[in-house]
Amino acid sequence: MNLKSHKLTIITPTYNRKDLLKKCFQSLMKQTCFDFEWIIVDDGSTD
């Protein structure tokens, strides 16, 4: 198994805020550092 190590881990907790996740994603794509992983923790959203 070959696991890649990232320079940055971004953890985003969310609950019924899909609109803000889209904005967060758009912001992440504008960054100059792309060596990151994004972990989204959903607390049982209904949206």
pLDDT tens digit sequence for 25-47: 999 999 998 899 999 999 899 98
| Residue 33 tokens, joined | 């550092």
Instruction: Answer yes or no: are the C-beta atoms of 14 and 41 closer than 8 Å.
Output: yes
2 located within any domain: no
More confident residue, 2 or 44: 44
Total domain count, the chain: 1
Q: 6 falls in which pLDDT band (50, 70, 90)?
A: confident
| Residue 9 tokens, joined | 């881990």
3 located within any domain: no
17 located within any domain: yes
22 located within any domain: yes
24 located within any domain: yes
15 located within any domain: yes
* Residue 35 structural domain: 8-42
